[in-house]
A and B are shown apart, each in its own frame.
Chain A
């Protein structure tokens, strides 16, 4: 195998603690693609940018910086699998590198726990690493597929915190960055043998962020429901995303929508790493798909 790219794997909360299949598939599929994800010991909640940042941004900066410093101590760049974590970890890393006043304020706090943010590592979302031809690339993904997801129509939910706001993002991989009509994740879906499908207003938020899921759940579910209606219009077999929080909102959310709004969809929701795992021959059991709120059976019947 070619050169391995090594990253400290920042897990966040929802993936390891609610959808562990995302964690294990990320590790296994990445290994097949020349990406090694190693433990980032002692990492915590990123902290959730909406829930935490709303209370006190100073604490948000400090806690995110602490997570970054753990990787600095390992002298290893970070890879993560969640848009929310991306906002916290990447953006705080980026802002502290650029702004001395923020950096000094954060280091005042980190001094209390014998840590110092130095700005020596980079942060990446695993999806951009997979897309970047310098690290992996769509062709390599395609080549690693042993069980193509042929005959399935898969819609993509990009989420919000990965790409937006465009002016506060810098990308190393070419072709990422557009926020109005990106198509790069569809390319990654097509590489798995599936048919990526477009649907109305695909860039809309899932509704969970900013603490809204906790504050006013039916408000967040109404936003989710709007997307569900658009997804059903194009008869998607599954929805894929790269954010466990969006996954939670769409997956458990469909159950809540059924309870509260009386509508049933039954649309399987899978993180891209889970899809990639399936396409690389991992079994549904290995992926922990039985932990999903919405059964993945209808989708699995098409691909297995």
Chain B
């Protein structure tokens, strides 16, 4: 919650109120995160096993334990606008070791889903959506590979949607059901023009 002391901008930023107040919490955030992640996020007792297991923590400011704390305290804005949210590799080591049987990885995925609803999403994800929409593949075939396949005595395209493009329609219907393509295109356009 931006609290202003009425000072000139630079001082207001430097001296901003750092305290946590109850008003900083959105009580809806935790239930939303729990519903999407299907895990008992509220039971986190901040033991630190998750961050202790994390491959991203030693090389960045990403702290899964802190994201869990934000979920429990309802600090929605802080969580969803933190760029570190996208540094989780989903290795699931934290989930594997959590003594409270929580899945912190799934909490991150839930937060990412909620961030996307606010159009917060790195553009590489959207490019994947577009690729899937057009070809059915996140990493589509290319001519270099087609030639290589042919040399190996295989069909130029695999027996996937590449060889059976009629199936792509079904995929497009699924993506359109959730308006994923429309939203992705819109955001890509906004970012890249």
Which residues from chain B contact A62 at a C-beta distance below 8 Å? 174, 177-178
Number of A-B contacts (CB under 8 A): 214
Interface positions of A from 31 to 61, Cβ below 8 Å from B = 39-45, 47-59
Q: Is B137 an interface residue (CB 8 A)?
A: yes
Which residues from chain B contact A59 at a C-beta distance below 8 Å? 174-175, 178, 180
> Nearest Cβ in chain B — how far from A261, in angstroms?
12
CA distance A207 to B116 in the complex (A): 22
Which residues from chain A contact B90 at a C-beta distance below 8 Å? 49-50, 53, 160-161, 209-210
Asked if B101 contacts A161 (CB within 8 A), the reply is no
Max chain B C-beta neighbours (<10 A), residue from A14, A44, A215: A44
| Chain B, interface residues (CB within 8 Å), range | 35 or more
Q: Is A286 an interface residue (CB 8 A)?
A: yes
Asked if A51 contacts B138 (CB within 8 A), the reply is yes
Asked if B132 contacts A47 (CB within 8 A), the reply is yes
> Nearest Cβ in chain A — how far from B185, in angstroms?
13
Q: Is B89 an interface residue (CB 8 A)?
A: yes
| Chain A, interface residues (CB within 8 Å), range | 35 or more
Q: Which of B1-9, B11-19, B71-79, B146-154 binds A?
A: B146-154
> Nearest Cβ in chain A — how far from B127, in angstroms?
8
Asked if A55 contacts B116 (CB within 8 A), the reply is yes
- From A166, A214, A219, B122 is in contact (CB under 8 Å) with A214
Which residues from chain B contact A23 at a C-beta distance below 8 Å? 154, 158
Asked if B152 contacts A42 (CB within 8 A), the reply is no
Q: Report B132-174 CB contacts with A as 1/0, cut-off 8 Å.
A: 1000111111100100110111100011111110111111011
Q: Which of B26-34, B40-48, B55-63 binds A?
A: B55-63
CA distance A109 to B175 in the complex (A): 10
